[in-house]
Amino acid sequence: VFDQTNYCRNFHKAMRHLVSEVKEERIMTASKNYSVVALAVFLSFWLVFTLKYSETTEGVIRNLINPSPRRTQKDHKVLFILGPGRSGTSLLGDLFNSRKDFIYFFEPLKAIRTYHKIGEPTSIHQLQYMLQEVGEYMKDIVSCNYRSRNDKYINLVHSGGMFFSKMDFLHSPPFCAEGERNCKKKNITSSMMNEMCDHLDEDVTIVIKDLYKNFPYFDPSLIQYVQLNKMKTFHVLQALRDPRAILNSYRKLNWITDNVRKDVNRQASTAVPIFCGRLVHILKHFPKAPGSNKVKYAIFRYDDMAYHDITSIARSLAEFLDVDLSDEFENYLREKTQGEDDFKTASLSLAPRNISLTILNWRKEIPMDLLEQIESTESCQQLLQMLGYKMAENKEVLFDEHNVLVKEPLLLDVIGH
């Protein structure tokens, strides 16, 4: 289970390791270049002083992923849509992607893991590297001011076929000719991204949809350290869903199973407490992290769309973002969530569906041993309580469609403040 103390300890180890490497390398070359030795000693003492006397580890993190300030081109509003997989992040992202006044990025941080073949960081070196890369890449995206060093990620995300079709702005100039849709093989570069940024209106909102797993140590609070001069408040919309439904979906997709021998992290007995523990940590610490005064933070509970009027949900989203959402947006949301299931015309995450039936289906499908494991795990009990879900406890309660497992609405409510 994710442990904050161990998290902080690893950052201290990373910094001490870097100090050690700097000292060793510079001392070996002392006989050749005394000026380099002096510089190394100075840097070593500075790093040690920073680690020993900074008030918080967060201060070290901020320095690490924000090595130098960058000029922002325009003061765009920024919306992050975050959450675990199978929680409705793609649905929310697609809603904003359908509007011309939103520039939508589908899981851009996945490119860092894919390009460098990094799974969950297993060493201090990987953690430090990911912090650096995530911080710099995020700053380029939210400032709409790109550097050539990120061309490897830009081209991977934007021309990867799977991602390309999910971002409508890539089907417009300068990426495609007006009205052209088939330009997937175009080599997209930082200069093209900057050209697009130069022509964006001030009132355009940059939307970044990403999953917890694409952040170092699954911790999305790192976005709060991407500090930009004169930037407007971050809007962070955390898409969450009944954890029993998410874990049942993971089971169906074979992301977790009891039949895995080699990968212990995929075994349900291990995966369930890790999953719940991470989400509890995020809900407890995300809104309270340093710099959160620039973060407007809300929970979007997937299940609420089955029990509350779509008009009120659309209105709440508009108020949260301080934008004018048209009837077209509301109709799109209604079509995606209250129509007939249609998994043949769209991908699994974006297919039109009836959310009320989706909720009933997982309750009928989940194995009782998985349900019992979830509801008997302390971190999962805590998570269910924090998100406002009731315990099922037995088949009678679970199968009764009139027994709603959601407590009072948390529609765009703030948890943890």
Closest to 102 in 3D by CA, of 133, 82, 81: 81
What is the C-alpha separation between 273 and 250, in angstroms, rounded? 14
- State in Å, rounded, how far the first CA of the chain is from the last one: 23
Residues 330-342 as b or e (16 or more Cβ within 10 Å = b) = bebbbebbeeeee
Q: What is the DSSP letter of 257?
A: B
User: How does strand 205-211 pair with strand 234-240?
Assistant: unpaired
List domains and CATH numbers for the chain.
76-144+200-415 (3.40.50.300)
pLDDT of the chain, 417 residues: tens digit per residue? 334 444 445 444 544 444 354 344 444 444 445 555 555 555 555 544 444 433 344 444 444 444 444 444 567 888 999 999 999 898 888 888 877 888 999 999 988 888 888 776 677 787 788 888 888 888 889 888 898 888 888 888 776 555 666 788 887 788 887 767 666 556 788 998 999 898 888 888 899 999 998 888 788 877 766 655 455 668 889 999 999 999 999 999 988 887 666 677 788 889 999 999 999 998 888 766 555 567 788 889 988 888 888 888 888 888 888 887 777 778 888 888 876 655 444 455 556 678 888 888 999 999 999 999 999 999 999 999 999 899 997 888 888 888 888 876 655 554 433
Give whole-number Cα distances, 71 to 60, 68, 144, 238, in Å: 22, 10, 10, 28
Spatial CB neighbours of 45, under 8 Å, sequence gap ≥ 6: none
What is the C-alpha separation between 139 and 154, in angstroms, rounded? 13
Q: In what order do the strands lie in the sheet with 295-301?
A: 102-106, 205-211, 77-83, 234-240, 295-301
Q: What are phi and psi of 283, to 5 degrees?
A: -65, -30
Residues 393-403 as b or e (16 or more Cβ within 10 Å = b) = eeeeebeeeee
Q: Is the pTM of this model over 0.75?
A: yes
pLDDT at 289: 57
Is residue 56 within 8 Å of 125, Cβ to Cβ? Answer: no
Closest to 159 in 3D by CA, of 176, 182, 184: 184
pLDDT at 55: 37
CB neighbour class for 345 (10 Å; exposed up to 12, middle 13-18, buried from 19): exposed
